[in-house]
Amino acid sequence: MATPVVETNLVKNETVKMGESVVGWLTEPLFTLNGSAVTVSGLFRALLIFLFAVVLSRLLQRLLKKFSQNQKSINEAAVYTIGRVSHYFILTIGFFFAASSLGINLSNLAIIAGALGVGVGMGLQNIVNNFVSGLILLFERSLKVGDFIELSSGVMGTVREISIRSTLITTNDNVDIVIPNSEFISSSVTNWTMKDAHCRLRIPFGVAYGTDKELVRKAVLEAADRVKLHITKIPQRQPKVWLVNFGDSSLDFELVIWLTPKSVRHPEKVNAAYLWEIENSLSQYGIEIPFPQRDLHVRSWQVERPIAVSEAPAELQTKN
């Protein structure tokens, strides 16, 4: 019968053997990279270093976000740019440290550059193009988070996020659209709020020929005053009514208004609101809104004389 001391020694021996086997498994070379043996423990160490870089980057972005919320005077777009650039920088440093822990010689950049060249040649052109385009957008600041933009396709929305590959915009219908960053570099984009959030909007309408122009001006300006989505305190930017064209069926006018920063982001809603009140005012003053029409002038008209029975051919007379 084994004594307690013997059983304890057996347990210790088994534990030691198990520990040695685990250590041997962790330190056993899996493969050789750049002349250095890569082990399981080395992979775990590299993974932990990179995860630490990711956590550090997320923490820094949260701190920047809280700082921008507490400091109202700081530009939100500038804070976002700093956060994204620092995110890429920390991840890059974390990657280099992780690679260094595996024994990769970082001084031999020719190998890394060659690998990147092969990757780009095998189908990463779009990814690299979008990444570089995203960096250009962040540094050039021609497009910032919070800007209201219009694409060449006619889609309008607010920029919510500029990531590595794409940019997220949200339309006024609350639809999220993901657009590759390269699209903003290679095609034209209208930024409604790039430097000045005040934009001028022209709302076209027409009235019948012969209508008193001053009465039209009075009616439409009264309609604009009822909507109040435009600037009212700047004399140079008061609403105006312009006669812009003599149309085929109407006198063509435009209501010209300068929108407030909040109204700029809802052009369709603003246009509908002003047209609604314009129609009400024109109806109130008895001003006709014409519809397309054409006048036909006949220069000559020849009426054919009916043929008498006696003048008809004999065959027709027989049949009758």
Q: How many domains does one find in the chain? A: 3
Q: How would residue 208 be classed by pLDDT, with cut points 50, 70 and 90?
A: very high
299 belongs to a structural domain: no
CATH number for the domain harbouring residue 175 = 2.30.30.60
- 244 and 219 in a single domain? The answer is yes
Assess whether pLDDT exceeds 60 at residue 318.
no
Chain centre to alpha carbon of residue 119: 29
Between CA 67 and CA 148 the distance in angstroms is 24
- 217 and 265 in a single domain? The answer is yes
101 belongs to a structural domain: yes
**pLDDT tens track for 69-86:** 776 656 666 677 777 778
- 102 and 39 in a single domain? The answer is yes
Which of 161, 191, 221 lies at the terminal end of a domain, its last residue?
A: 191
- 156 and 205 in a single domain? The answer is no
Helical pair 40-70 and 76-101, crossing angle rounded to 10 deg: 170
pTM of the model: 0.59
- 175 and 207 in a single domain? The answer is no
37 belongs to a structural domain: yes
Residue of higher predicted confidence among 105 and 172: 172
- 187 and 204 in a single domain? The answer is no
Nearest CA to 100 out of 51, 46, 52 is that of 46
SS3 of 53, please?
A: helix
Q: How would residue 112 be classed by pLDDT, with cut points 50, 70 and 90?
A: low
Chain centre to alpha carbon of residue 146: 10
123 belongs to a structural domain: no
Q: In a 10 Å sphere around its CB, with 0-12 CB exposed, 13-18 middle and 19+ buried, how is residue 150 labelled?
A: middle
CATH number for the domain harbouring residue 229 = 3.30.70.100
Between CA 207 and CA 213 the distance in angstroms is 9
Residue ranges making up the domain that contains 169? 141-191
The structure tokens 């219009």 sit at: 150
Between CA 315 and CA 320 the distance in angstroms is 9
Residue of higher predicted confidence among 47 and 204: 204
Q: How would residue 105 be classed by pLDDT, with cut points 50, 70 and 90?
A: low
Query: For 19, what's the count of Cα atoms within 13 Å in the CB-facing half-sphere?
Result: 6
Nearest CA to 82 out of 158, 166, 162, 192 is that of 162
Phi and psi angles of residue 72, each rounded to the nearest 5 degrees, phi first: -70, -20
**pLDDT tens track for 222-272:** 999 999 898 888 888 899 999 999 998 899 999 999 998 889 888 899 999
298 belongs to a structural domain: no
Between CA 252 and CA 246 the distance in angstroms is 6
- 95 and 31 in a single domain? The answer is yes
* The one-letter amino acid at 26: L
241 belongs to a structural domain: yes
Which of 89, 107, 125 lies at the terminal end of a domain, its last residue?
A: 107
- 54 and 97 in a single domain? The answer is yes
DSSP string, 153-195: TS-EEEEEEE-SSEEEEE-TTS-EEEEEHHHHHHS-EEETTSS
112 belongs to a structural domain: no
135 belongs to a structural domain: no
> In terms of DSSP bridges, do strands 29-33 and 36-39 run parallel, antiparallel, or are they unpaired?
antiparallel
